[in-house]
C-alpha cells in the first residue's frame, strides 16, 4: 500500500491566534506557533533532520535560517529562547548545549527525560547559568495554578496539613510538585504494576511522600489530581476545575464551597502559558516557571523512589536516590 501523503505546510500546525488573554480560553498548537504569535518574540530559526518537514516549517513561518543539525543552529544563531521538541533521548544534551551557546530560556517537550542523570545534567546546567527551564506543557502551566498557590500562601485554607495526588503519579504530568514548600526526603510505595505491554514503567501503585518541612503527600487511588487540605479548608483540582472549601461560622458552622477567584482553569494554550512563564522569568517578574525542569526532576525522583519501595515490599526509601542511572520508560511519547 502506498504511504499516506505528507502534510502540507499549512497542516503541519494549526493556526494559533489567541483571541483572549492567557487564562481565559483559546488554543496554542505548538511551541513554534506560540513564538510566532507573541508580538515581542521573533521566530528566527528552526532545526529538523527531515528535509521535507524542515522545508514545510520554513514555508509555514517564513523562515530562511533552517538547519539539519540543531547543534549547528545553536552555534550559528544568537538565540534567546529555544524550544526542544525532539525525541526524549535528545532533550537533556540539547538543553546543556543551548545553555553553553548562551540561550537565555529553554522549553522542552514532555516527557522531559528518561533518567535521573539526564535530569541532573540539564537542570544543573540551567541553574548554574541562571537560565529558566520549562519541563513540558502541562496543566500546571495554567495561571489558575498560580492563583491556587497564592491562596494557600495567603492562608485561605489555614495551615497546610497534607496533599493528595491521583494514581498514577505521572512525574511528567505532575501537579502536586508545584505546591511543595520542602524537599521530598523519603517515600513509601505499594501496589506497583509490572512493565506494561506497550513498554511503560511509570508507577501505577499508591504511596506516601514525606517532605523536609513536615508536609506529607498521599498518592491515592480515587484522589483528585491534587487536593490541598488545611486547618480551615481545602482546595482541589479535579475534572479540569478548581474548587475551594472554607470553614464558616454562620448561618451554620461547617465547611462550605466558596466561589473560585478568577482565573478558573480552561484547557488549551499550554504552550502559550509556558512561554509566558519563561519570558516572565527572563524579565525578572517570576522566580521559576510553574512547570519548571527542577519540579519535573523532583517528581521523577519521587516516582522512581516509589517504584523501588513497592518492589521492596513497601519499605521506606530515602531521597535523594544514590543510583542516578535509574530511569522510567513511557508508552505515550514520540
Nearest-CA neighbor of 34 among 320, 255, 327, 279? 279
Beta pairing partners, 190: 206
DSSP annotation of 107: E
User: What's the helix, strand, coil split of the chain in %, to 5?
Assistant: 30, 20, 50
Q: Which helix (H) or strand (E) holds 216?
A: strand 216-219
For the cut 70, the answer to whether the pLDDT of residue 289 exceeds it is yes
CA angle centred on 260, ends 257 and 262, rounded to 5°: 175
For the cut 70, the answer to whether the pLDDT of residue 20 exceeds it is no
Q: How far is CA 70 from the centre of its chain?
A: 23
Tens digits of residue pLDDT in 64-94: 999 999 999 999 999 999 999 988 999 999 9
Residue 12 to residues 7, 55, 228: CA-CA distances in angstroms? Answer: 6, 11, 40
Q: Is 163 exposed, middle or buried (0-12, 13-18, 19+ CB in 10 A)?
A: buried
Confidence of residue 200 (pLDDT cuts 50, 70, 90): confident
Tens digits of residue pLDDT in 28-70: 338 899 999 999 999 999 999 999 999 999 999 999 999 999 9
If you average pLDDT over every residue of the chain, what do you get?
A: 89
| pLDDT of res. 19 | 32
Beta carbons within 8 Å of 3's beta carbon, 6+ residues apart: none
Confidence of residue 8 (pLDDT cuts 50, 70, 90): very low
Asked if residue 299 lies in contact with residue 169, where contact means CB atoms within 8 angstroms, the answer is yes
Beta pairing partners, 184: 211
| pLDDT of res. 236 | 97
Give me the mean pLDDT over the 106-114 stretch.
94
Distance CA 14, CA 48 (A): 19
For the cut 80, the answer to whether the pLDDT of residue 295 exceeds it is yes
Beta carbons within 8 Å of 159's beta carbon, 6+ residues apart: 230, 231, 232
Measured torsion, CA atoms of residues 13, 81, 94, 61, in degrees rounded to the nearest 10: 30
Going along the chain from its start, the domains and CATH numbers come out as 9-139 (3.40.50.720), 143-265+294-318 (3.30.360.10)
Measured from the Cβ of residue 108, the count of other Cβ atoms closer than 10 Å reads 29
Asked if residue 139 lies in contact with residue 264, where contact means CB atoms within 8 angstroms, the answer is no
Nearest-CA neighbor of 97 among 73, 119, 130? 73
Helix 91-100 vs helix 116-129: crossing angle, to nearest 10: 20
Residue whose cell numbers read 514520540: 334
Q: How far is CA 210 from the centre of its chain?
A: 21
| pLDDT of res. 12 | 39
Asked if residue 321 lies in contact with residue 165, where contact means CB atoms within 8 angstroms, the answer is no
Residue 288 to residues 223, 277, 298: CA-CA distances in angstroms? Answer: 27, 8, 14
Please provide the distance, in angstroms rounded to a whole number, between the alpha carbons at the two ends of the chain: 24
- What would the DSSP string read from start to end of 58-102? HHHHT--EEES-HHHHHHHS--SEEEE-S-GGGHHHHHHHHHHTT
Tens digits of residue pLDDT in 144-156: 999 999 999 999 9
Amino acid at each position: 500500500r502506498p504511504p499516506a501523503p505528507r502534510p502540507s505546510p499549512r497542516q503541519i500546525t494549526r493556526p494559533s491566534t489567541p483571541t483572549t488573554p492567557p487564562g481565559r480560553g483559546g488554543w496554542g498548537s505548538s511551541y513554534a506557533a506560540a513564538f510566532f504569535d507573541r508580538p515581542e518574540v521573533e521566530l528566527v530559526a528552526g532545526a529538523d533532520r527531515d528535509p521535507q518537514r524542515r522545508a514545510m516549517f520554513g514555508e509555514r513561518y517564513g523562515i530562511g535560517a533552517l538547519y539539519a543539525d540543531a547543534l549547528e543552529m545553536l552555534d550559528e544563531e544568537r538565540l534567546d529562547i529555544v524550544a526542544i521538541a525532539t525525541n526524549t533521548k535528545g532533550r537533556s544534551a540539547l538543553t546543556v548545549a543551548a545553555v553553553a551557546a548562551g540561550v537565555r530560556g529553554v522549553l522542552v517537550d514532555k516527557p522531559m527525560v528518561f533518567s535521573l542523570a539526564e535530569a541532573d545534567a540539564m537542570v544543573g546546567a540551567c541553574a548554574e547559568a541562571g537560565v529558566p527551564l520549562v519541563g513540558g506543557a502541562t496543566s500546571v502551566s495554567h495561571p489558575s495554578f498560580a492563583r491556587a498557590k497564592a491562596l494557600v500562601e495567603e492562608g485561605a485554607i489555614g495551615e497546610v496539613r497534607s496533599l493528595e495526588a491521583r494514581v498514577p503519579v505521572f512525574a511528567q504530568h505532575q501537579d502536586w510538585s508545584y505546591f511543595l514548600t520542602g524537599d521530598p526526603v523519603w517515600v513509601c510505595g505499594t501496589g506497583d504494576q509490572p512493565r506494561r505491554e506497550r513498554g511503560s514503567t511509570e508507577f501505577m501503585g499508591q504511596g506516601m511522600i514525606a517532605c523536609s518541612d513536615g508536609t506529607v503527600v498521599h498518592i491515592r487511588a480515587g484522589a483528585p489530581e491534587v487536593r490541598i487540605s488545611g486547618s480551615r479548608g481545602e482546595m482541589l483540582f479535579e475534572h479540569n476545575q478548581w474548587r475551594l472549601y472554607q470553614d464558616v461560622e454562620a448561618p451554620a458552622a461547617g465547611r462550605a464551597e466558596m466561589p473560585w477567584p478568577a482565573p478558573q482553569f480552561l484547557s488549551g494554550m499550554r504552550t502559550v502559558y509556558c512561554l509566558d512563564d519563561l519570558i516572565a522569568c527572563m524579565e525578572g517578574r517570576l522566580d521559576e516557571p510553574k512547570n519548571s525542569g527542577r519540579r519535573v526532576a523532583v517528581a521523577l525522583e519521587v516516582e522512581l523512589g516509589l517504584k523501588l519501595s513497592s518492589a521492596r515490599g513497601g519499605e521506606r526509601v530515602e531521597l535523594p536516590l544514590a543510583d542516578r542511572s535509574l530511569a522510567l520508560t513511557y508508552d505515550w511519547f514520540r
